Structure 1
Amino acid sequence: MGRPKRDIRAAAEEATTPPDQLTENQSLAKVIKAEGNSLYACSLPNRRTVLVGLASRFRNTVWIRRGGYVLVEFTSSKEEKGRVEGEIINIVGDEKEWRKQSYWPKEFPRVTYDDEDEDSIAGKMPPSDPEDED
């Protein structure tokens, strides 16, 4: 039997709301690569790469894309299990809302593309020539 829809919706809704503040063992990170078995290689603001696991409440519920941002909680050195250094406790769903928070690191700038400023011609009719209208 599958998970109840209310659990899925609660996990997805939680990802859109940023916390008020972070604790000393939490940090935002950028996902570099999916390693398999709910493990992800992430880059911290100080450019250090860490391997973190996905919290069980998000497994098979929320998908994390490469280049996306996550909130990582590091485990203490006593609880460390091999290479895994922490756990993903939240996924940045609404990046615009998260960027407004005071704890968003300046090392993660907003990426803009050159094409955003120009008008797209996708799905538009080609321009008509005034000479052909005779």
Structure 2
Amino acid sequence: MSKKALSQLSFDPPESLDKDQVVAKVLQLRGSALFTVCEPNGNELLVEIPAKYRSKAWIKRGGYVVVDKSEFTDQQNKIDGSIVYVVQHPLKNWEKQSYWPKEFVNNTAAEIDESSSSESAEESD
């Protein structure tokens, strides 16, 4: 795993991703350290967050992470990769990166609009 991984909880995106790293959307929590995520191509992966970052990173359903699949390619287990970055808001810095999947661009804009309109509705109550 990269030495920079999760060091900033990823407010600032890296310049590039390694060949075995991919941006993925979090679908569900599967346990204390396991998550189901979806790659831009629709492929679902079971990923883990490293033990030393479990209490430091907040990962929510619908959020985005960068997954490193390199250390799990030769292993015969159910885990497909580990989380190396947790994407934090605002997403606009991430969306500007050349590696950000075009499949996620419209989704992130809709999620931001949805969360801000639900906050506005709560304030008006």
Do residues 31 (structure 1) and 26 (structure 2) align? yes
SS at 2:45 equivalent: strand
* TM alignment of 1:1-134, pairs within 5 A: 11=6, 13-74=8-69, 75-78=71-74, 80-94=75-89, 95-108=91-104, 109=106, 110-112=108-110, 113=113, 122-123=123-124
Amino acid paired to 1:37? S
Give the percent of matched residue pairs that are identical in Structure 1 and Structure 2: 33
Structure 1 residue 56: deviation in Å?
2.5
Structure 1 residues not aligned, in runs of 5+: 1-10, 125-134
CA RMSD between the two structures: 2.6
TM-score, normalised relative to structure 1: 0.72
CA distance in 1, matches of 2:25, 2:114: 22
More helix by share: 2
SS at 1:107 equivalent: helix
Q: 1:114 to 1:62 in 2, by over 3 A?
A: closer
CA distance in 2, matches of 1:44, 1:25: 12
Structure 2 residues not aligned, in runs of 5+: 1-5
Higher Cα Rg, which structure: 1
Task: Give 2:3's aligned residue.
Answer: none
CA distance in 2, matches of 1:34, 1:72: 15
The number of equivalent residue pairs is 112
CA distance in 2, matches of 1:65, 1:14: 13
CA distance in 2, matches of 1:83, 1:115: 33
Mapped contact 2:28–2:37 kept (Cα < 8 A): yes
